[in-house]
Amino acid sequence: MTAVTVRRKGFSLPVWLGVAGVAVIMALLIAAIVHTMKHVKPVKSEVPPVSAVVWGDRVFMRPDGLALWLKTRGIGYSVWAQRHPPANHLLQKQNAKLDRNK
């Protein structure tokens, strides 16, 4: 009778250590994600100040542009300004601010 030794094929020690290392790293990443999800902090944001008027699918920052746009449609800026005082006030205020910055 002859004795035949069969070597069992399997992963070597460095491969198992690599797999264990990856598992530890993944566990740490998952723990960090879970911690972040449990302790969510709301983001504080400020509403930017209104600085333009949207009219007719256009954005106007100065009365001059709106006056020209209204004129091509047969409406005077003074008529529009009387009908929309808050928007007119905003445009006048923005126009003064832009003129100061020049």
**Which pLDDT tens digits describe the chain residue by residue (102 residues)?**
566 666 666 668 888 899 999 999 999 999 999 999 999 888 888 888 888 999 989 999 999 999 999 999 999 999 999 999 999 999 999 888 888 876
Distance CA 61, CA 32 (A): 47
- Tell me, yes or no, whether 17 lies in a domain: no
- Tell me, yes or no, whether 71 lies in a domain: yes
Rounded to 10 degrees, the C-alpha dihedral 71/52/64/68 comes to -20
How many structural domains is the chain composed of?
1
Domain that holds residue 80: 53-101
Distance CA 24, CA 70 (A): 68
- Tell me, yes or no, whether 30 lies in a domain: no
Is the whole-model pTM more than 0.85?
no
- Tell me, yes or no, whether 4 lies in a domain: no
Distance CA 87, CA 90 (A): 5
